[in-house]
Amino acid sequence: EAGVVQSPRYKIIEKKQPVAFWCNPISGHNTLYWYRQNLGQGPELLIRYENEEAVDDSQLPKDRFSAERLKGVDSTLKIQPAELGDSAVYLCASSSLAGSYNEQFFGPGTRLTVL
Amino acid sequence: DQQVKQNSPSLSVQEGRISILNCDYTNSMFDYFLWYKKYPAEGPTFLISISSIKDKNEDGRFTVFLNKSAKHLSLHIVPSQPGDSAVYFCAASVTQGAQKLVFGQGTRLTINP
């Protein structure tokens, strides 16, 4: 079974440029998460989807960040414009059932460097 | 406000000995706790979990202990092996609202041969 796929793995951009990250969750997983992990810190949830619906986006900086999961499968996270402080690893995770303690499976992440 | 804290950024243990990783939390609503392990350039992978109705959960070489009164949990690895060298994250969740994990900062464990 394929794991959570993320691309690109690395991205270097100039500040004020846009950037997008893509995630394909494990087949059949209806819950998808985007996390941001700053250097030396644990992952912090940005947004959680149940199928196509964003059910928790309270931590998403909506002035510059946006996300979509149009068909309830893969998802894109966008930053526009990027700032220096956005440099971090962006992790995508998925799980199979909402409302229960099912394991979250993480992708390898996208390491973003903003210059 | 750091609700889940791992106060030791790093830990070095000799192969074959016991590794003990600690985690403290402040939110008394947390009732489910997990440990994740992360290798470089990979995403975190689930290791072991414990519900607040228990005080111990064991899986092979890994045991998690929960002390609710102290708001403290620990992960014991015995015996430690070189492949256990990784960053370990403690995470906590509240039953209602489902699936929102709050992570600690992580502890880098190094197992020395």
Mean pLDDT for B40-66 is: 95
Whether B106 and A41 lie within 8 Å, measured CB to CB: yes
Instruction: Give residue A102's pLDDT.
Output: 63
For chain A, the C-alpha Rg in angstroms (whole number) is 13
Tell me what the pLDDT averaged over chain A comes to.
92
pLDDT digits (tens, 9 = 90+) for B16-30: 999 999 999 999 999
3-state secondary structure chain B: CCCEECCCCEEEEECCCCEEEEEEECCCCCCEEEEEEECCCCCCEEEEEEECCCCEEEECCEEEEEECCCCEEEEEECCCCHHHCEEEEEEEECCCCCCCCEECCCEEEEEEC
Chosen for mutation from B99, B102, B105 (greatest number of chain A CBs closer than 10 Å) is B99
- Which has the minimum average pLDDT: A21-35, A87-101, B64-78? A87-101
pLDDT at A96: 83
Q: Quick one: pLDDT at residue A80?
A: 97
Q: Is pLDDT at B97 greater than 90 in this prediction? A: no
Measured distance CA(B35)–CA(B66) in Å, rounded: 12
pLDDT of B98 higher than 70: no
Q: What would the mean pLDDT of A106-115 be, rounded to a whole number?
A: 97
Q: Choose the weakest-confidence range: A89-98, B27-36, B63-72.
A: A89-98
Token pair in block for residue A15: 């500040």
- The answer to whether residue A32 scores a pLDDT higher than 90 is yes
Is the minimum CB–CB distance between A101 and chain B shorter than 8 Å? yes
The CA distance from A79 to A19, in Å, is 5
Residues of chain B found within 8 Å of residue A91, distances taken between Cβ atoms? 43-44
For chain B, percent of residues with pLDDT exceeding 70:
96
